[in-house]
Chain A
Amino acid sequence: DGGITQSPKYLFRKEGQNVTLSCEQNLNHDAMYWYRQDPGQGLRLIYYSQIVNDFQKGDIAEGYSVSREKKESFPLTVTSAQKNPTAFYLCASSVKTGNTEAFFGQGTRLTVV
């Protein structure tokens, strides 16, 4: 079945550590996205990528980094510079950016302990 796989589902991080969230898609989509979800705030865009080896900052990119070395993969690293990393992180992909619907993964819940 085609889809988007995020792993792990739950992740615990100690303060000061970097952690990497995985996102893989087999939909052959060009565009991929990372969103952060906090209660009552909807989804906020962290980074997006329209094509391999290219990505752009979203609205809340500070403290995060990404790479897009393969079409199928778009990992997100939450660095120690992110002051409040505890949140639900959602990865998505679409055929292209803009007017096509996004397909979402099941999310990763990150908790700083």
Chain B
Amino acid sequence: AQSVTQLGSHVSVSEGALVLLRCNYSSSVPPYLFWYVQYPNQGLQLLLKYTTGATLVKGINGFEAEFKKSETSFHLTKPSAHMSDAAEYFCAVTRTGGFKTIFGAGTRLFVKA
């Protein structure tokens, strides 16, 4: 069975500091991995995805994530936080050939001025 664990329900950083949001997954077969962002009272928007190929994936708004199979991780990073990055972030996984996407519980990012 697949599962997704996001470490830390809340993360707080200062503006300009590194953003690191952690995601670990379990999957018996190679997974497809996604990061989504949600602003208050809105739907989710795709930040980036990993399917195959290069393990370092670049997304929108300066975010990137690295697929590490040995660590079963797909952590999201951004070198310098901006106030507009304050939102909730969801990691998600779909197994190859599967029909269902499993979402993590989400991490709320706070950015301090």
Contact = CB atoms under 8 A, between A and B. Distances in A.
Main secondary structure of the interface of B (DSSP, over half): loop
Interface of B: 9, 32, 34, 36, 41-46, 49, 51, 90, 94, 96-101, 103-106
Interface string A5-20: 0100000000000000
Contacts of A92: 43-44
State the majority secondary structure of interface residues on A. strand
Contacts of B98: 97-99
B46 A40 contact: no
Contacts, number: 63
A107 B36 CA distance: 15
6 contacts: A41-B105, A42-B104, A90-B44, A98-B32, A98-B98, A105-B43
Interface in A33-90: 35, 40-45, 48, 50, 56, 58, 88, 90
Given A42-B103, A48-B100, A50-B99, A98 B94 contact: yes
Contact of B94 (A4, A41, A99, A106): A99
Contact residue range for chain A? Answer: 20 to 34
A63 B66 CA distance: 39
A98 B97 contact: yes
B96 A106 contact: no
